[in-house]
Structure 1
Amino acid sequence: MDTLEQPDLTRYAALLPDTGEPGFGVYVHWPFCAAKCPYCDFNSHVRHQPVDQERFTAAFLKEMATVRQLSGPKTVTSVFLGGGTPSLMNPSTVAAILDGIGKHWHMPDGIEITMEANPSSVEAERFRGYRAAGVNRVSLGVQALNDRDLKFLGRLHDVADALKAIKLARDIFPRMSFDLIYARPNQTVDEWERELKEAISYAVDHLSLYQLTIEEGTPFFGLHKAGKLIVPDGDQSALLYEATQEITAREGLPAYEVSNHARPGAESRHNLTYWRYGDYAGIGPGAHGRLTRGSMKIATATERKPESWLDLVERDGHGMIDQEQLGYEEQADELLLMGLRLKEGVDLARWQQLSGRDLDPKREEFLLEHGFIERIGNSRLRCTPSGMLILDSVVADLAC
């Protein structure tokens, strides 16, 4: 396939630069999809009747008002419209949601505003409508660049649809990313390397590259349990991961997080807010949030079922079913869990302030000696590439 013409990267100057601070993000969850993928355990739902977008929009705005009371005045540094399939929303719905965010919090010009989109639901007119509403970054769920694997993954688009969507996104939005899933059944390193190089030839500035995981409650889980779906073993997955890191680094999109790769300066600001353990408001069915009040951080979660969430919001002004105060130790654990995913690592002074202690010297020395972690000066700690392969174990060791 021909490489798409490279766009003018000077367009990126319109977006505010990353300050390195965690920031404050707003996440809005649109829970509806045209079809449910067999690997997906996200809060997404298929409805065979048209969704009442006006009613849901009114509920989003109503819940924002309640969350604003919890968060207090904030300056928004990023907005993320996730799902589900947000590109099933009308542009007028997106415009109303973004207007609502701007009314409840301070939203400066030039912040990152991302929308997830599926290639099967992409139309040029709708993309232009989203851009006019304020979206300046789109994240496409491409997932594979061959039709056989797209069918296996339950996607509604083919490669031709994906390339059309990529070209439209590049033409209309200042920034564009797309997702791929690897470690698929019978996938070899050579096959993945060819597919990844092709993807990089299409990508402007950002790729999200996820290994296929078998999640309980999905159709793939049942097939895997019955021995009808075999995914690469640990050794093969490690080889695929290492090839991913090598190729993306060589092609100028190094990993800045365990599964995310970007040209310098084009990292996802919104996701960096999560990984830097900043605050974020979660709006919509199944959305989660983290909001600081004084010295405490509140973890919020909303009702997952869309219609039940809608009823709750219309009755109570919000769909939150859980508000948990996180103690310092819990915050310190979350900071480690999120921050060690990043190439920039964790601010040790911040972790020590939350946890009230130093890292266990014996555990740290063990991980250092085995090459799983490393210090960045005296102020930060990060995982090495080897440590990223066993990230959960490293976090568990350090958190003890």
Structure 2
Amino acid sequence: MDTLEQPDLTRYAALLPDTGEPGFGVYVHWPFCAAKCPYCDFNSHVRHQPVDQERFTAAFLKEMATVRQMSGPKTVTSVFLGGGTPSLMNPATVSAILDGIAKHWHVPDGIEITMEANPSSVEAERFRGYRAAGVNRVSLGVQALNDRDLKFLGRLHDVADALKAIKLARDIFPRMSFDMIYARPNQAVDEWERELKEAISYAVDHLSLYQLTIEEGTPFYGLHKAGKLIVPDGDQSALLYEATQEITAREGLPAYEVSNHARPGAESRHNLTYWRYGDYAGIGPGAHGRLTRGGMKIATATERKPESWLDLVERDGHGILDQEQLGYEEQADELLLMGLRLKEGVDLARWQQLSGRDPDPKREEVLLEHGFIERIGNSRLRCTPSGMLILDSVVADLAC
């Protein structure tokens, strides 16, 4: 397969530098898709009639105003338009949403503004419209680079569509990422290595590489339970993960998070806000948020069903169903859960301040002896590559 012309890797340098602080992000959820993928448990919905984008836009703006009252004045460090399939939005819808964010919060020039897109819904004119609206980074749901597995994953695009979308994204946007799913049924390590190297040859600065997981409530879950869908076992999954880490590091896109890889300086600012346990406003059906108010962190969650969310916003000014004040111990657990996903690890002083204690020395000693965690000086704690393979267990041990 022909490789694309190699990009100018200095194009993303204009992005505001990463300060290492969590920041404040705004997440906007567009819940509609052209089709539901059989592995997907995200809040996404298929509608066979055109979506009333003007009505939804007005609702997004109305909910923003309510969330702005909750958050108070903030400087936005990143915006993420996720879904669903945000590339089904009209450019005018995206422009109105970004204008609304700038109206309610301070949005400096040069922040990261990301939009998710599926190759099947990519058009050059639409992409140029998003760029004109202010989007400066696109994240493409490519998922595989062979037509057989794309069909298995329920994707509406083929490899030719994916390569067209990648080229358009690279031509139009300063920054671009795409997703791949591995640990598919019967996937051999050498097959994945070849596919991953091909993906890297197309990538600009960032790749998200996820192992296929079987989520309850999805069509794949039913097939798996019935024995009709067999995914790689733990040992094979570990081999695939290790090959992923080796190849991406060698090719200049090392992991900065368990599933995310970037050239140094091109890490996703928005996702770093989550993993560094910063605040973020969640706007739209099924969106979650974390807002600090009066020294306490509030977890918010909105109505998941789009039409029900729309009715609530038009009636009440927002679709928020849950507002939970998180105690310090809960915040410490969330900080640990998110931060240990990162190569930079967890700020121990911040964790100690929230939890009111030091890590249990006996539990830490056992994890250190087995090579699952390591200290970075006296200030940070992180998982080793071996620890990343059993991340959930490491978090559970340290949180006790």
- How far, CA to CA, are the matches of 1:328 and 1:226 in structure 2? 42
- How far, CA to CA, are the matches of 2:9 and 2:245 in structure 1? 23
Look up the match of 1:318: 318
Offset from partner CA, 1:99-144 (integer Å, 9 cap, x none): 0000000000000000000000000000000000000000000000
Q: Which runs of 5 or more residues in structure 1 are unaligned?
A: none
- How far, CA to CA, are the matches of 1:80 and 1:338 in structure 2? 18
The Cα of 1:9 is off from its aligned counterpart by 2.3
- How far, CA to CA, are the matches of 1:294 and 1:256 in structure 2? 32
Offset from partner CA, 1:3-58 (integer Å, 9 cap, x none): 21122222222211111100000000000000000000000000000000000000
Look up the match of 1:8: 8
Offset from partner CA, 1:293-332 (integer Å, 9 cap, x none): 1220000000000000000000000000000000000000
Offset from partner CA, 1:325-384 (integer Å, 9 cap, x none): 000000000000000000000000000000000000000000000000000000000000
SS of the residue corresponding to residue 10 of structure 2 reads helix
After TM superposition, the score normalised by the length of structure 1 is 1.00
Pairing of 1:1-400 with structure 2 (within 5 A):
1-400=1-400
- How far, CA to CA, are the matches of 2:74 and 2:95 in structure 1? 20
- How far, CA to CA, are the matches of 1:7 and 1:255 in structure 2? 21
Q: CA RMSD in A?
A: 0.4
Offset from partner CA, 1:217-273 (integer Å, 9 cap, x none): 000000000000000000000000000000000000000000000000000000000
SS of the residue corresponding to residue 199 of structure 1 reads helix
Offset from partner CA, 1:151-185 (integer Å, 9 cap, x none): 00000000000000000000000000000000000
- How far, CA to CA, are the matches of 2:3 and 2:25 in structure 1? 34
- How far, CA to CA, are the matches of 1:4 and 1:220 in structure 2? 33
SS of the residue corresponding to residue 26 of structure 2 reads strand
The Cα of 1:70 is off from its aligned counterpart by 0.5
- How far, CA to CA, are the matches of 1:317 and 1:294 in structure 2? 22
SS of the residue corresponding to residue 167 of structure 2 reads helix
- How far, CA to CA, are the matches of 1:30 and 1:292 in structure 2? 24
Offset from partner CA, 1:171-220 (integer Å, 9 cap, x none): 00000000000000000000000000000000000000000000000000
Number of positions where the alignment pairs a residue of Structure 1 with one of Structure 2 = 400
- How far, CA to CA, are the matches of 1:240 and 1:7 in structure 2? 28
After the TM superposition, which segments of 4 or more aligned residues of structure 1 sit over 2 Å from their partners?
A: none
- How far, CA to CA, are the matches of 2:290 and 2:208 in structure 1? 23
- How far, CA to CA, are the matches of 1:118 and 1:379 in structure 2? 41
SS of the residue corresponding to residue 208 of structure 2 reads strand
- How far, CA to CA, are the matches of 1:188 and 1:7 in structure 2? 30
- How far, CA to CA, are the matches of 1:250 and 1:89 in structure 2? 38
- How far, CA to CA, are the matches of 2:173 and 2:102 in structure 1? 20
SS of the residue corresponding to residue 9 of structure 1 reads coil
- How far, CA to CA, are the matches of 1:380 and 1:102 in structure 2? 35
- How far, CA to CA, are the matches of 1:365 and 1:10 in structure 2? 43
Offset from partner CA, 1:57-112 (integer Å, 9 cap, x none): 00000000000000000000000000000000000000000000000000000000
- How far, CA to CA, are the matches of 1:322 and 1:13 in structure 2? 39
- How far, CA to CA, are the matches of 1:55 and 1:371 in structure 2? 54
- How far, CA to CA, are the matches of 1:12 and 1:345 in structure 2? 25
- How far, CA to CA, are the matches of 2:202 and 2:9 in structure 1? 14
State percent identity of aligned pairs.
Answer: 97
SS of the residue corresponding to residue 381 of structure 1 reads strand
- How far, CA to CA, are the matches of 2:329 and 2:69 in structure 1? 26
- How far, CA to CA, are the matches of 2:43 and 2:155 in structure 1? 17
The Cα of 1:2 is off from its aligned counterpart by 1.8
- How far, CA to CA, are the matches of 2:233 and 2:245 in structure 1? 18
- How far, CA to CA, are the matches of 2:288 and 2:383 in structure 1? 26
SS of the residue corresponding to residue 49 of structure 1 reads coil
- How far, CA to CA, are the matches of 1:346 and 1:36 in structure 2? 36
- How far, CA to CA, are the matches of 2:134 and 2:14 in structure 1? 13
- How far, CA to CA, are the matches of 1:42 and 1:352 in structure 2? 33
- How far, CA to CA, are the matches of 1:65 and 1:339 in structure 2? 30
- How far, CA to CA, are the matches of 1:238 and 1:13 in structure 2? 34
- How far, CA to CA, are the matches of 2:292 and 2:263 in structure 1? 31
- How far, CA to CA, are the matches of 2:364 and 2:274 in structure 1? 25
SS of the residue corresponding to residue 155 of structure 2 reads coil
- How far, CA to CA, are the matches of 2:233 and 2:291 in structure 1? 39
SS of the residue corresponding to residue 300 of structure 1 reads strand
Q: Which runs of 5 or more residues in structure 2 are unaligned?
A: none
